[in-house]
Structure 1
Amino acid sequence: MRTTGMGRAIAAGLAVLAALTGCTVQAPGEEGHRSPVRIELPDSTPSPLRSPTGDDRPGTAPAPARVLWSPGDTGRDVRELQARLRQVAWLFDGPTGTYDEATERAVSGFQGKRGLPRTGRTDTVTWQRLRGMTHEPGRWELYLMGGQPADPPDARCRAGRVLCIDKTSRTLRWMVDGRTVSTMAVRFGSRGTPTREGVFSVYWKSRDHVSTLYDSPMPYAMFFSGGQAVHYSRDFAARGYAGGSHGCVNVRDEQAIAELYAQVRNGDKVVVSR
């Protein structure tokens, strides 16, 4: 009886060992003289990776991030990308709406700083990281340096030769007999020195004018109301809508206003509307 009890105790101990180690236990005396404990070792060939769905098919490497925008692309989305890059000081020019070399360098720098592949192309991972660090740009962040679409012209601009100036869209249309000849971005006076609204006419042109009041250059000046004129502004060209005038209508594109200056005559109508 004592021997039988000891055998049962050994068998019970082996069962516990099997439960802990994953071994298979056989009763003593079965299958000839084989050891009562058989340890199953893992196969030398590793099992395939499980797929993300949980089945037993081999797993696949994650797909590369999808490219959203790359050099040469244009449009409003590229303009937003540039505005957000400006917010984190990776881009200083624009936004222009064109994915140029400066934008490519800015994206590459942003990627490298954050341990992402420096491709210079904006993929989904880069875009999500940039969005998480910036705020939704407003309209005048998107069009800081101009390029915004013009609103429909004021009804008073549809006849004759007219400088049709719109404060809402911040644009100037040069119109002749209802046809738009050219359009350009403009900015206006600050709160303390607003640009006057109404219907006026060009009464004096001065190609290399310098303001006697503010001692500042006003190239291609076309005066229409007191000391207020349409003219080129180097400050607008450099800072965009971050600045303002003393009441004049500033143009940032020097070539565009040079061509406009050559076409406008004294007596042509000027309409400033909101």
Structure 2
Amino acid sequence: MRHIGRRGVVVLGATSLVAPLTLALGTAPAQAASCTASKGPYQKQVEKFLGRPVDGRQSAADCSAIRAFQNKHGITPAIGYAGPVTWGVMDLMQKQKAVGKNPNKDGKCPTNKGRIACVDLTLQLSWIQDGKKLVYGPVPVRTGRDGYETRTGLKKVYWRDIDHVSTLYDVRMPYSQFFDGGQAFHSVGLSMWNPPGSHGCVNMTAKDAKKYWSLLKKGDDVYVYGRKPGT
């Protein structure tokens, strides 16, 4: 795919901002507008995550809490069903929180490159380090969905465009920093846990994208590793 920026520069590759995929929930009731009375296969786990009474039974209050979570993060259908997608998002959040301030504990992101932006696809986290020193992060990110995976390996920031616009999707991509054939860091107005993911870019909140813009420059290294859940 191609992205033609507002400055007429052709960029090869696929980027982000796709409508949330309607998710098949197996035995979930086919209700689009109302809260479901059926319990899901991850009822207890979801109840515990949301601070609800953990009894494994769906109540009206349970459904309302689950549905609010689904609406906040763009999980569809938002009917309050404790299914695999909803639990998968919650489980990922817990794993991200457990990382704390030591995202490179396993040493997978190079520490001999000086300043480098790291992207852990497995945990959907990114951070900037300088040698072994953590400079910023870790922050949650939204990477490429199945079929549009964010490519792994050692890259370099090769082009920056603070007001980039994708004509392919007719969307703004503020604070774009391209590092691999059209794949870039940039901000989006979506939850970082909004499924199924981007078209290859590393989506960030506006706050984090602005910080990355201030900390990185053309030629800086980017290292992407791991595998996004579901890809």
Same fold (TM over 0.5): yes
Matched, 1:261 2:216: no
Match of 1:242, SS? Answer: coil
- For 1:227 and 1:272, the matched residues in 2 are separated by 15
Tell me the equivalent position of 2:108: 154
Higher Cα Rg, which structure: 1
Post-superposition offset of 1:254: 1.6
Q: Deviation per CA, 1:201-250: give whole Å up to 9, x if none.
A: 0011111111122221111111001111011111235xx23231111011
One-letter code of the match for 2:176? Answer: A
Residues 140-179 of structure 1: pairs in structure 2 closer than 5 A: 140-143=89-92, 148=97, 149=99, 150=103, 152=105, 153-179=107-133
Q: Deviation per CA, 1:175-224: give whole Å up to 9, x if none.
A: 11221111210121111211111100001111111112222111111100
Check whether the contact 1:208–1:219 (CA below 8 A) recurs between aligned residues.
yes
Match of 1:260, SS? Answer: helix
Check whether the contact 2:144–2:198 (CA below 8 A) recurs between aligned residues.
yes
One-letter code of the match for 2:145? Answer: S
1:215–1:159 distance in 2 versus 1, CA, 3 Å: same
Tell me the equivalent position of 1:273: 225
Match of 1:140, SS? Answer: helix
Tell me the equivalent position of 1:234: 189
- Paired residues in the alignment total 159
Query: Which structure carries more helix by proportion?
Result: 1
Match of 1:191, SS? Answer: coil
- For 2:121 and 2:88, the matched residues in 1 are separated by 14
Q: Deviation per CA, 1:236-270: give whole Å up to 9, x if none.
A: 35xx232311110111x221221221111100000
Match of 1:193, SS? Answer: coil
Moved over 6 A (4+): 83-87
* TM-score, normalising length: structure 1: 0.49
Check whether the contact 2:141–2:203 (CA below 8 A) recurs between aligned residues.
yes
Greater relative contact order (CA < 8 Å, ≥ 6 in sequence): 2
Tell me the equivalent position of 1:89: 64
Residues 114-129 of structure 1: pairs in structure 2 closer than 5 A: none
- For 1:163 and 1:222, the matched residues in 2 are separated by 11
Post-superposition offset of 1:161: 0.9
Check whether the contact 1:235–1:243 (CA below 8 A) recurs between aligned residues.
no
What residue ranges of structure 1 are gaps of 5+ in the alignment?
A: 1-76, 97-132
- For 2:180 and 2:83, the matched residues in 1 are separated by 40
Residues 40-189 of structure 1: pairs in structure 2 closer than 5 A: 80-81=49-50, 88-90=63-65, 92-93=68-69, 138-143=87-92, 148=97, 149=99, 150=103, 152=105, 153-182=107-136, 183-189=138-144
- For 2:191 and 2:199, the matched residues in 1 are separated by 12
Identity of aligned residues (%): 29
- For 2:127 and 2:196, the matched residues in 1 are separated by 22
Check whether the contact 2:118–2:127 (CA below 8 A) recurs between aligned residues.
yes
Q: Deviation per CA, 1:42-91: give whole Å up to 9, x if none.
A: xxxxxxxxxxxxxxxxxxxxxxxxxxxxxxxxxxx997125999961335
One-letter code of the match for 1:215? Answer: D
Check whether the contact 1:157–1:164 (CA below 8 A) recurs between aligned residues.
no
Tell me the equivalent position of 1:214: 169
What residue ranges of structure 2 are gaps of 5+ in the alignment?
A: 1-45, 73-80, 227-231
